[in-house]
Amino acid sequence: MKLSLKTFVKPFFLGLFLLFSCNNKTVQYPEISIQDSSLERTTTGSVMMFNLKINKPSENEISVDYALVDGTATSADDFEAVSGTVSIPANQTDATIDVQIKGDPLDIRQPNLEFTVQLSNPQFCTISTNSAKGIIITEDRTSLPTENIGYSTPLTYPGYTLVWSDEFSGTNLDLNVWNQELGNGNGGWGNNELEYYTNSTKNTFVSNGNLIIEARRETVGDFRYTSGRMTTQGKKFFKFGRIDIRAKLPVVKGIWPALWMLGTNLSTAGWPACGEIDIMELIGTTPSIVYGTLHWAGAAGAHASKGANYTLTTGDFSDQFHVFTIIWKENNIKWYMDDQQFLETSSSDVGLYNYPFNADQFFIFNVAVGGNWPGSPDNNAAFPQRMFVDYVRVFQ
């Protein structure tokens, strides 16, 4: 049979056309991405999983390489350094990368630790998100040592008996003694404060012989800060004696730690008629100055006060522990910082007809953020901020 040239030419050019079209067609590979992950650190170790997502099924098995990159978390101390390839079967749209997180038997509270998982070398896919952050959560742990340097006072004084103390030597706050107030009070506790007080161990906990009240920059509802506020109202209250409180204070713009007392008739007499004894207050913008103040209701019921301050000659009140003391007698109160007197008040300052300080008072320990007196923190103010209280002792 005789074949014509046309018989060969037509299929030849058709083949070239199809080959050219296939080689120039854009292949739409699926996209792969990796998601951030976080995990609370344990004392014995755990596994953090990173999810890989593919935006559409593929007819091919796809793969991608990965490697771990140190950050504030390092492979030497915090996670197992690994690299490798993840292969994902055809028509599957998810996979995981597992990272072994090392345990920390010391259980130390510290800023959260971070590292990165990096993707590369995609096969039969493209990478839409090539890295993910791994966060090892360590900020909520309940062990926090601090240097125990600074001034200290004795357990005995001539003429006095120790009638009550909290040395914070256990592992939990004694709720038979302490209440934990919640929320933001009435208009920021009357001071336009910015914090939200919680009863979480994130904000109030006992560790290594200290009570720790921690203010954080974190959001709860409409509030951008959290902290702790403790009282002995209805549980422990006193009239007269020597009161020693050993503490190390936070110092940053907008922070306001306080160790103080209110009259037990607060709910009936109201403030300031119940009387307020501020054993110690500090404003973060003046970190080397503490204040002692008495507050009461004047003759017409208006707020009245008398106070003074003590200034360190070197350093500030976050450097080491100091002891804040009042010696409280009938019609007279004296304030001391490391046994150095800096203020004295008497009933003659107030007026005997409305002097509220010959009656029972309860303790309040708190770390406020913002308010009318300290002002607001700025973006440069570092958080968290912590007040350490070593002990509170009442001698009579």
Per-residue pLDDT band at 391 (split at 50, 70, 90): very high
Instruction: State pTM to two decimals.
Output: 0.88
Candidate CATH numbers 3.40.980.10, 3.30.1340.10, 2.60.40.2030, 2.60.40.1220; the one for domain 31-137: 2.60.40.2030
From 2-6, 130-134, 166-170, 269-273, the region with the lowest mean pLDDT: 2-6
- Domain ranges in the chain are 31-137, 162-395
- Judge if 31-137 and 162-395 fold alike in CATH terms: no
CA 139, 142, 145, 148 torsion: positive or negative?
positive
Which residues form the catalytic set? Answer: 276, 281
Which is more confidently placed, 20 or 68?
68
Q: Biggest alpha carbon distance in the chain?
A: 135
Per-residue model confidence (pLDDT) at position 25: 53
Domain 162-395 architecture: Sandwich (2.60)
Per-residue model confidence (pLDDT) at position 132: 98
From 8-12, 106-110, 144-148, 207-211, the region with the lowest mean pLDDT: 8-12
Per-residue model confidence (pLDDT) at position 263: 98
Per-residue model confidence (pLDDT) at position 178: 98
Does the pLDDT of residue 10 top 50, yes or no?
Answer: no
| Mean pLDDT (the chain, rounded) | 93
Per-residue model confidence (pLDDT) at position 230: 98
Per-residue pLDDT band at 26 (split at 50, 70, 90): low
The rounded distance, in Å, linking the Cα atoms of 331 and 348 is 8
Q: Which long-range contacts (CB under 8 A, 24 or more apart) does 11-14 make?
A: none
The rounded distance, in Å, linking the Cα atoms of 387 and 379 is 21
